[in-house]
Structure 1
């Protein structure tokens, strides 16, 4: 697997795989890491184009602590995602805690004009395989 690091900040990094899959890794649950993820998500979303094929993986295995700060940032990202017209979008969320996936699932349902397929995984290889289909 060939990865190129695009963004690297304290507690956060974004990488691009050959083939265009973006991997956003939150490396710890600190507010600084969450804020770096949030700001980068906004930059990333600002570049999306209608009709563009999007594949991304959010690796939050090292940041699964639910805090009001993290919840606020996730809610803001989800709100913005729903306004971007995407017809071919797949997102994988990599977790250690399946219960957290059940809590998040209701917030990740597709809303027009954004049609996303979002799934939870606990194995990075399985997530990347699904994203490459």
Structure 2
């Protein structure tokens, strides 16, 4: 998990530095590049937090508890990511930066759910034996 968080931090810093050039691979209009850069500057933080909940999802699945991965994803997408992106895009129609914040917020919720689930299940001894 440490590797994925460090990688996410590095990619976040890199994308903050090169976002206009990166967006420029896909679009040539200056307005599109500016809007895409704003979105990428907020969305890229998801790379840090997604690594946490993805690692936990794999861990839970290995122990036969894949329902936790399903639950935290549904709870992140339905009440946070989709409505958050919609609300923020309507509230700030002149920039895409706020809309991109919805994804990292969903991943933060997922990471918190995973840490809580892991802590509770670990205290109950759910991970004492490897399930094969």
- Structure 2 length-normalised TM: 0.28
Structure richer in strand, relative to its length: 1
| Structure of higher RCO (CA pairs closer than 8 Å, 6+ residues apart) | 2
Structure richer in helix, relative to its length: 2
- Structure 1 length-normalised TM: 0.28
